[in-house]
Every structure is written in C-alpha cells, then in structure tokens.
C-alpha cells in the first residue's frame, strides 16, 4: 500500500475506519447538541427581556421572540391590560409582527421562544401559523396547553404537530412570575 488509504479488502482496516467515523459522528452530534442548547438559551434570554418589559408595564411578565433562520424577526410581551385586549398575549403579538415581517400568514419553519408555557389560545395560534418549534421556559400548571394541563402540540385530531423543548432557563422565567405576584400581594 503506497496510497496511505486503508485497504478496504482488509476487514480489520475497514472496521477501524467505520469506528473512527462513528466516533466522529458522536463528536459532531455532541457539538450540535451544545450549539442548539446555547442557541436556545440565547433566544430565551431575549424572550426574558420582553417579559421584563411586561413586568415594568404592570402586566403578567411573559415574553416571546419569534425566530426564523436563526434570527429574531419579531418580539412580543403581554399587553392585555394596557391594550384592553384579552388576546394580546406575548405569543400572539409576536406572531402578528412575524407574519408582517415575513409577508406571509404562515410561518412555516419558524420557532417561537416563550418564557411561560402557552395557553390554549396561543397554542391554537401557533398551530395555525404552522410553526416548527416551540421552546418555553417554565410550565404553567394552571393553564398550560403544551404538556401540563392540556397538550395541543401532538393531538392527532389536529392537522399540525409542533416540536417542543420545555424548561429552557426555567428558573429565570419562573422567578419573574413569582416576583410579579409577590409584588401584588
């Protein structure tokens, strides 16, 4: 052998290459996992900034950012009281702005990052928008519709499924809500 490549007719050399590739695959997968987890935290931090704006405006502190191709295209925070609008949840506001930004009523392939698990109205809207993925911070055990009280993410009777990553920066997201209600007492 002068080429420096292993002779694939040699079973042992062949297996060595296969093993090497599978090790590389693991490194690759691991790197991808770390990258995705960093990305999720980064976008969740932006959603937390939105929630802080809601807090400052005396609204229940929930924030959301809409991401398309790894870029934030819209932001929203709870504004129901200020706008006298029961539908003005963080997710709905982000979706409305996102639709305008993409000039499309469907946001196929986009992802939303929300500090708190969405309610049934918002989950309905995310499904209508054909969102690819929902990432949220803390579960809402009273009204959540993405796994706690209801689960509209994978209901077979609906015509769209949405991928979910829960509990990203859970502590920070939950803390804001707890501080808010403590300040109301």
The structure tokens listed for 162 are 């949405």
* Site for Zn ion, residues 85 to 104, rule: CB under 5 A: 89
Question: Which stretch in 30-38, 103-111, 119-127, 135-143 sits in contact with Zn ion by CB under 5 A?
Answer: 119-127
Q: How far is the CB of 5 from Zn ion (least distance, A)?
A: 58
Angle at which helices 120-128 and 90-102 pack, to 10 degrees?
Answer: 10
Q: What are the DSSP calls for 99-116, one per residue? A: HHHHT-S--TT-EEEEEE
Which lies closer to Zn ion via its Cβ, residue 48 or residue 119? 119
Q: How far apart are CA 17 and CA 22, in angstroms?
A: 9
Q: In what order do the strands lie in the sheet with 133-138?
A: 71-77, 63-68, 111-116, 133-138, 163-165
Which residue lies nearer to Zn ion by CB, 13 or 80?
A: 80
110 versus 116: smaller Cβ distance to Zn ion: 116
Pick the piece of the chain touching Zn ion (CB under 5 A) from 1-9, 118-126, 152-160, 170-178. Answer: 118-126
User: Using the rule CB under 5 A, which residue among 47, 51, 119, 145 binds Zn ion?
Assistant: 119
| Residue 47, beta-bridge partner list | none
Binding site for Zn ion (CB under 5 A): 89, 119, 122
């Amino acid at each position: 052998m002068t080429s420096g490549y292993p002779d694939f007719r040699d079973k042992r050399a062949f297996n060595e290459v296969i093993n090497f590739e599978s090790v590389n695959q693991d490194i690759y997968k691991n790197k991808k996992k770390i990258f995705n987890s960093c990305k999720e935290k980064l976008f969740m931090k932006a959603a937390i900034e939105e929630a802080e704006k809601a807090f400052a405006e005396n609204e229940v502190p929930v924030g959301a950012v809409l991401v398309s191709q790894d870029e934030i295209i819209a932001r929203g925070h709870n504004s129901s009281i200020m706008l006298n609008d029961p539908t003005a949840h963080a997710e709905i506001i982000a979706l409305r702005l996102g639709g305008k930004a993409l000039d499309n009523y469907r946001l196929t392939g986009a992802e939303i990052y929300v500090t708190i698990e969405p309610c049934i109205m918002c989950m309905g809207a995310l499904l209508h928008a054909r969102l690819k993925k929902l990432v949220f911070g803390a579960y809402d055990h009273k009204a959540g519709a993405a796994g706690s009280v209801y689960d509209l993410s994978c209901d077979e009777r609906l015509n769209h499924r949405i991928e979910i990553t829960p509990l990203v920066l859970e502590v920070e997201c939950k803390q804001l809500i707890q501080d808010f209600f403590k300040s109301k007492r």
